Amino acid sequence: MNVKLRVWRQKNSETEGSFENYEARDLNPNMSFLEMLDVVNEDLTNDGSEPIAFAHDCREGICGTCSCMIDGKPHGPETGVATCQTYMRSFKDGDTITVEPFKANAFPIVKDLVTDRKAFDKIQRSGGFVSVRTGAAPDANAIPIGKDIADLAMDAAACIGCGACVAACKNSSAMLFVSAKAGQLNLLPQGQPEKDTRVLNMVATMDEAGFGNCTNQYECSAACPKLISEEFISKLNRDYMSASVKKLFKAKAL
């Protein structure tokens, strides 16, 4: 199959970018979107031009490195997959595909389709640690956790931190990411001691990073390659307000 590509090319964060048109010929429909870009890059390199820079790593949907706004949706037209697991069979022969980087002020463009998502790392770091004892391996299931809670925490923990939520949100809000990262720990007994400080710090870091605010449209959840539910945002809101109230009335240490 053949497709036409409209790709965002930008030298670095200082320069202005623009769209360039490319043609990808003789593709196997079972190629992933990234493999298709590899083929295009091969041709570009052979022609002596600059290949398209795009972020990728594991190519099996678990690392969260690949990004790309493909035809107006983060990670392409399919639901619940990352760009690396979007296959060319999802497009029609002769389609023109628009490929843009994730755009948000908190995610500056590094080059072409690569964005700098270290704001997420900052948020994650500000969440701090979990008080678990190191040393000898604890007995399995020493801490009883209900199956429903364990499942819910696992749903949140599925977040790969790709930034599709920010890319899809018209306000570039990082609420789904923060709610998943805070929620996975806040749900479990191991995460309780630092729950309030974790929520307050992560939200403060998120606000500082220049992400927008949540408008409760849940585009994030629909674009998420792991389909993380917006219910975690509701939980984050609840946890944040309760942590704030507790902080206001907390007795100070003598």
Partner 1 sequence: MKVIHVLFRSSIGKKFTMAVSGFILFGFVIGHLSGNLQIFAHPDKINAYAHFIESLGPALWGIRLFLLTTLVVHVWVAAQLTIENKRARQKNYDKQVTLRATLASRYMRVSGVIVLAFIIYHLLHFTVRVTHGTEAYPTTILADGTKVRDVHSMIVLGFKSPYIAIFYLLSVGLLSWHLAHGLVSMFQSVGLRTRAWSHVLERITVVLSVSYFLGNALIVVAAMSGKVRIQNPSVVGFTCRDTCEICGLRNAEAIVENADAVEDNQS
Residues in touch with partner 1 (CB under 8 A): 6, 8, 19, 69, 71-73, 98, 100, 103-106, 168, 170-173, 175, 203-204, 206-207, 210-219, 221-223, 229-231, 233-241, 244, 247-248
Tell me how far apart the alpha carbons of residues 182 and 232 are, in angstroms, rounded to a whole number. 9
Assess contact for 84 and 33: CB atoms under 8 A: yes
Q: How far is the CB of 195 from partner 1 (least distance, A)?
A: 14
Shortest CB 131 distance to partner 1, Å: 25
Between 34 and 206, CB nearer to partner 1: 206
Closer residue to partner 1 (CB): 190 or 234: 234
Nearest C-alpha neighbor of 159 from the set 144, 170, 175, 143: 175
User: Angle formed by the axes of helices 231-249 and 195-208, to 10°?
Assistant: 110
Q: At what angle do helices 175-186 and 231-249 cross, to 10 degrees?
A: 70
Which residue lies nearer to partner 1 by CB, 20 or 57? 20
Query: How many other CB atoms are found less than 10 A from the CB of residue 193?
Result: 11
Least Cβ distance, residue 216 to partner 1 (angstroms): 4
Please state the closest distance from residue 236 (CB atom) to partner 1, in A: 7
Starting at the earlier edge strand, list the strands of the sheet with 96-100: 18-24, 3-9, 96-100, 69-70, 73-74
CA distance 55 to 115: 8
The smaller minimum CB distance to partner 1, of residues 94 and 135, is found at 94
- Minimum CB–partner distance for residue 217 and partner 1 (Å): 4
Name residue, tokens 């585009």.
219
Minimum distance, C-beta of residue 155 to partner 1, in the bound complex (Å): 11
Q: How far is CA 149 from CA 9, 98, 146, 223, in A?
A: 45, 40, 5, 24
Smallest distance from partner 1 to CB 6, Å:
8
Q: Which is nearer to partner 1, 133 or 252 (CB)?
A: 252
Q: Decide whether 25 or 246 has the Cβ nearer to partner 1.
A: 246
* Other beta carbons less than 10 A from residue 128's beta carbon: 13
* Nearest CB to partner 1, comparing residues 38 and 231: 231
State how far Cα 75 lies from the chain centre.
Answer: 10
